[in-house]
Amino acid sequence: MEAAHELSAGMCGIRSTGDMVLRVQLAKGYKIDRAKAYVAEKLGVPVEDLADPLMMSELREKHGLGMMQPTDNVPINMEVKMRIAEILDLPINSVERFKKRAHL
């Protein structure tokens, strides 16, 4: 997981969509360009906007995908992971385990 964190942090981490692109790369085995295109399509934005921290902060807030400095009524932790899994149509192990244990 250290490598995954290092790679996503190098793409601006949660300020942009580096964490989501990396998650797609790991889950689907896509190369970075294809993973970026996949995330951009799912979010409904051009690929170029994925690296724009301001644009992505607004988009992440709009979709409840987490923020660098969460405020009141902003989703955090498992709720964010569940939304990312839903939007990207990806299985996330911790989300699947949570759903199973919570009988969801």
Per-residue pLDDT of the chain (104 residues; tens, 9 = 90+): 555 555 544 444 455 688 889 999 999 999 999 999 999 999 999 999 988 888 888 888 888 887 766 666 766 778 888 888 999 999 988 888 988 998 88
Q: Which residues have a Cβ under 8 Å from the Cβ of 38 and sit 6 or more positions away?
A: 24, 28, 30, 88
Is the whole model's pTM more than 0.85, yes or no?
no
CB count within 10 Å of CB 63 equals: 16
Buried b (16+ CB within 10 A) or exposed e, 34-61: ebbbbbbebbebeeebbbbeebbbebbe
